[in-house]
Chains A and B, each alone.
Chain A
Amino acid sequence: MDNILVITTFIVSLIMITAGLVGIIYRRNLVAILISIEVILNAINLDFIMFSRLKSNMNQLIDGQTFALFNILIAAVEITVGLAIIFAIRNTMQTSDIDKLSNIKEITED
């Protein structure tokens, strides 16, 4: 039963990572791209915690969970700065669509 749980969790986390990477390319909204990044970080956290449980050494087990803790912290920092950038773009360009921001050079020139 443990085999099935570990393998299933690993496959699901791989699907989540792939879906997040596809979402970064596929979505046109800036907030949706941040949501995709959050899903990737959560999948990696799940892997850290699940694989650290396979270690018999106590210190290695804590290592995995501490990495997940710092990963949560990095995610919080990333979402803060990312949303601040989205607000700045909103203030200057009045849009949050990637396609409209790709001609950003033409907007700033005139």
Chain B
Amino acid sequence: MLSEVVYLVLLLGVLILSLVAIFSREIFKAAVSLVFAFIFLSGMYLLLGAEFLAVIQLIIYAGAIAILILFAIMHTPAKIENLGDAKIFDYKPHYINAFIIGIIIFSILMFVAIVILNELNINVNNYKVTLVDFANALFNIKDFDNYGGRFVLVFELAGILILASIVAAITVAKKE
């Protein structure tokens, strides 16, 4: 019972923090609330039985990506404006487009969700996925008949993708 309550509180926190991160006018506040949304999500993964992913979420998202975003914010030129003087909602033509597109997308997604949830029989199993299971699925090619090592090709391609992204990032961002 307690874990369900904690789960719902974390879920509410993730929702509110994500909305603040997307729609806040102050970009620094947006980045910080994004970090806290990542940390809350990591707690939710723990309660969902994905402990390895919870740790990975903390290391990569709340550690690396958050620092990268904050670094980018501090190095991009900010318009120094007094937000106290600005109107909270100054109308621009693209706002109505965003609103209409949001309504359309959300109604489509809700329709699909209702169709899916009607046919779903929900019985949650409480198995915890350990690091050994991940290693078995990623590397254990000898046990291929029992679905061991079935992600080894994706894993190798992911390594190439990371190398390519590092080279691309350095090439694009360096000054002449």
Contacts and interface: CB of A to CB of B under 8 A. Distances in A.
B125 interface: yes
Given A42-B38, A80-B165, A81-B165, A88 B60 contact: no
B81 to A, nearest CB: 12
B84 interface: no
Nearest to B56: A72
Nearest to B57: A72
A7 to B, nearest CB: 6
Contact of A73 (B101, B110, B158): B158
A42 B94 contact: no
A18 B109 contact: yes
A79 B65 contact: yes
Interface residues on B, range: 35 or more
Interface residues on A, range: 35 or more
A101 to B, nearest CB: 12
A86 B166 contact: no
User: How would you classify the secondary structure of chain A's contact residues: helix, strand, loop or mixed?
Assistant: helix
Most interface-central of A11, A38, A81 (chain B CB within 10 A):
A38
Interface of B: 4, 7-8, 11, 14-15, 18-19, 21-23, 27, 30-31, 34, 37-38, 41, 44-45, 48-50, 52-53, 56-57, 60-61, 64-65, 68-69, 71-73, 75-77, 79, 94-95, 97-99, 101-102, 105-106, 109-110, 113, 117, 120, 122-125, 127, 129, 133-134, 136-138, 147, 151, 154, 158, 161-162, 165-166, 168-170, 172-173, 175
For the complex of A and B, list the 9 residue pairs with the smallest distance between their C-beta atoms, beginning with the closest: A23-B22, A84-B169, A22-B102, A84-B173, A26-B98, A77-B165, A25-B98, A87-B173, A84-B172
